Chain A
């Protein structure tokens, strides 16, 4: 099979478009690269959705943790402790077992005038179940980062806001929130990268693949098992991850520059990248 044919057959294999059967027997490097690349679709899917939804939840959690009211603070603290203190791997297992126990129901509802059918068995599928776990997990980690930033807002900034007569929502929107983001952004960039790496765990935990539609690592380990040669598929996954990590750094770096655009050159906070850490 030539490279072009492999691309045609497998470029979208991970989302169920293209050749049904995975390559057998002699497997070319092209086929491996294309299939692993198509698996990356899932990694990116999990990353983008969990991170973008988790961001808002994390801001809410951070504010709740910083709240003076005991009844609001405690649940947020426990939530963050629960998801930060336990391995993501165990969280996946537990969530899967919990989702399997949900009775199988189907119901329909209308959203903006369109009838939508929903089924509870979707929870046991990776695209929804794993997404929920990743969403909660990244929310907890990001909330801790935002909470730290919230606590380290310079006192003078808040006093200046008071002096200008800003209160409540306006003060939050104009002073507290932008400063929090500015302070938290370098750490949040790291969190986004960890999160991306954590997506590789999805199909290795309990969530089953459906019709062999898996993520990049799923295909890589499939090839490693088939060819008994780890030196080709794993470096390919590694290369994909490095490239996409660089993309994340570029995007987050651009946002970081925008957040700090009002500061003099030498006071801008640089993005400092830490080595990846798993959860």
Chain B
């Protein structure tokens, strides 16, 4: 990175660190923070969408849809979500391969599960064996994001279902009195009003989602935990930058990163709550109304 970095062994400690912290692997380490942000950016809206679908299904007048919604949102009770993370990644992977197998190789007559093996025809392998490295990485990342969305969608479903029930009934009755259909009342009255009730729960889930991002490492993604372990391990003198085991310091860095991240989120979410309370028929909104008049 810097011009004076050509021979690190001659440097004193300050420029040495300047060179060390900007070498190739550290750039990969910094990029892996983007992986975390990318996960959050994709998984958060996706799980909100899943949660919304689940909550809507739970209120549906059609019994099977209701069972499906309730079953999905209650699956996260009682079972650690790490189990789901490990489970869904495998299930999604095998499910995709199985579907492609059925489509691509209709004349395959051997069973797919043979003892301890899961065999599909070559055309169904996902991604293809000869695919580029980045395709493999993106595919794995996509599976991980989808798994996060499924698990956190169930959390969101719980919160949104509660929020929909918390909207005062007279609001919906008024909508019906104005001649709105069920669908119109849902989209024009219930959905706009439910957010303030959902927000405390959703902000809680957001903070939990942030704190769940290191679990990406368990799903085989090269995330910040992976790189912290990789770079922090001791390097002998064969390397350009020899150092003892520094993993503790790398994890300390990650810890501080997460502390700051959750703190900033909390402050921002507190502001959003305040903004959404404006004009609502809640205690918070009432307090604001009194303050202005």
Contacts and interface: CB of A to CB of B under 8 A. Distances in A.
A87 B258 contact: yes
Interface stretch (A127-135, A145-153, A194-202, A254-262): A194-202
B255 interface: yes
Contacts of A45: none
Given A98-B248, A278-B81, A90 B154 contact: no
Contacts of B285: none
A94 B255 CA distance: 8
A127 to B, nearest CB: 20
Contacts of B118: 228-229
B263 interface: yes
B111 interface: no
A175 interface: no
Interface string A44-66: 00000000000000000000000
B259 A85 contact: yes
A241 B262 CA distance: 29
A276 B90 contact: no
Interface in B213-263: 213-215, 217-218, 225, 228-229, 232, 245, 247-248, 251-252, 254-255, 258-259, 262-263
Could you say which interface size class chain B belongs to? 35 or more
Contacts of A277: 155, 204-205, 208
A85 B260 CA distance: 8
A82 interface: yes
Interface in B61-113: 73-74, 76-83, 86-87, 90-91, 94, 113
B212 interface: yes
A278 B262 contact: no
Interface stretch (A113-121, A161-169, A218-226): A218-226
B83 A217 contact: yes
Nearest to B86: A221
Interface stretch (A5-13, A67-75, A176-184, A230-238): A230-238
Nearest to B249: A97
A246 B78 contact: yes
A204 interface: yes
19 contacts: A26-B115, A85-B262, A87-B212, A89-B215, A93-B251, A193-B78, A197-B79, A200-B83, A217-B83, A224-B90, A228-B116, A228-B118, A242-B79, A276-B77, A276-B80, A277-B155, A277-B204, A277-B205, A278-B80
Interface of B: 73-74, 76-83, 86-87, 90-91, 94, 113, 115-118, 154-155, 158, 204-205, 208, 210-215, 217-218, 225, 228-229, 232, 245, 247-248, 251-252, 254-255, 258-259, 262-263
Given A82-B259, A94-B251, A275-B154, 19 more contacts: A85-B258, A85-B259, A90-B255, A91-B255, A93-B228, A101-B248, A197-B81, A200-B80, A201-B82, A204-B82, A220-B86, A229-B113, A229-B116, A229-B118, A231-B91, A276-B81, A277-B208, A278-B82, A278-B211
